[in-house]
Structure 1
């Protein structure tokens, strides 16, 4: 059974190099676990979408929650899905445009088409907050 989790967390002291390191580790480790998804980082907060077999995603969420590099992990959405929205993304970093005005447009273009409209709305709302 496939599951999809969407969570946010706070990491105000995380530098660009550390974010790149997290993405590299995800690209290395996620394919073997059958996990796909996307990651947004606005300089202070993460928003991450994870998809995969329920047991694998739940185990990864435990690891993420215990990771000292960020705090306040809060699951925004957790659902069973029939198919992945990000089947080819081991973990794609979705860039947030500098201009708040262009963020919505950029995300609408870059987010996968298969995302549930409700999940898409949460991701876009996160990105336009700053």
Structure 2
């Protein structure tokens, strides 16, 4: 599980940098200020949760085995896909209904953080 989590963090970090650069350089003059702010929010949350996924992966790599950590890894990943992915799609397409997916991704982030907290409270063993 550790190697999968670290691989997901690596891919996610790569995508966050690539999408952030694309937004800063390729979309600057193509999106409205409102949609650019949506895109930037997607990039910010993508980065934050990539770092969280990396931390979980490192804990797993160093032998900490806890169901909460494994759940957090999958939930952080799913949250990035749903939260940031829906915001990227919304900003690029302008299809407002995509914004309805975003809170589901946010919920995945909240549950992932709760799983991490539970794992910590139970001693990460």
Larger CA Rg, structure 1 vs 2: 2
TM-score by length of 2: 0.29
Query: Does 1 or 2 have the higher relative contact order (CA < 8 Å, sep 6+)?
Result: 1
Q: 1 or 2, which has the higher helix percentage?
A: 2
TM-score by length of 1: 0.28
Q: 1 or 2, which has the higher strand percentage?
A: 1
